[in-house]
Each structure stands twice: as C-alpha cells, then as structure tokens.
Amino acid sequence: MVEGHRIVVLGGGYAGLTAAARIAEAESDVSVSLIDRKTEFVERIRLHEVAAGSEPRDLGYREFMEGRGGAFLQGIVSAIDLDQQTLEIGGGVALPWDTLVYALGSHTDMDSVDGARE
C-alpha cells in the first residue's frame, strides 16, 4: 500500500465497498483503508436465492481490498476527531486520515415494531 494521502472508508456495504475499491484501483498515490465491523460482505439483494437453495457467495473484505491495493481493518469506530483527523477503533486504536468517507449505511430495526423480532 502506498504512503501519502490517507483515505479511510467507514462501512462495508454497497456504497463503502464500491468507493473503497474504485479509489484503490484508480489512485496509485493514496492509501485506502476500509473499516467494517464484519469480515465479509453480505449481498443482501441476493439473500432470496439462499431460500431457493443457492449457496451464498462469500466476499471477504481483506482479500477483496488487498487484491485492489487497499487494506481492511475489522472494528467498530468509537470516536471521530475532526480537528485532529483521527478516528478511534474499538480498544483505543487511533487511525489518522486525510479524507474520510462516511458510508455506514443502514440496518434493520427489529425493535420499533412490536413482534418484528419474533
């Protein structure tokens, strides 16, 4: 990975993964790091295929990003310091950035509607 301008992408959903991959492939003078709490991408629009008997396709973030010249860090961001341009991952690991892409996306809220969790 190239040292220089540091781009950190938060979130490994469609938007974050696509942004990280395209930047890593196109820009040779930057370092790109993708951060997500999971280790692999879940292609939610294809989950119905699993119900029909197909095997889900595994897409591990680490291999995917390294194959494009980027890096992957598993963790949960606990703080972002805009003034110092750093973020904190999990147990106090500080990561500096020059450009931050905030693509944390969405999740299913199972608690707002009675009975949804069941």
Q: Is the pLDDT of residue 50 over 60?
A: yes
* Helices assigned H by DSSP within the chain: 14-26, 47-51, 61-66
Phi, psi of 54 (to 5 degrees): -80, 150
What's the rounded Cα separation, in Å, for the pair 106 and 40?
16
pLDDT digits (tens, 9 = 90+) for 75-96: 989 899 999 999 999 878 899 9
Q: What is the pLDDT of residues 61-73, one digit of tens each?
A: 999 999 999 999 9
- At residue 117, the pLDDT reads 73
Does domain 5-102 sit in CATH 3.50.50.60? yes
Which residues sit opposite 1 in a β-bridge?
Answer: none
**Per-residue pLDDT tens over the stretch 3-41:** 689 999 999 998 999 999 999 999 889 999 999 999 998
Q: Would you list the domain boundaries of the chain?
A: 5-102
Q: For Cα atoms 26, 36, 29, give the angle at the middle one, nearest 5 degrees.
A: 25
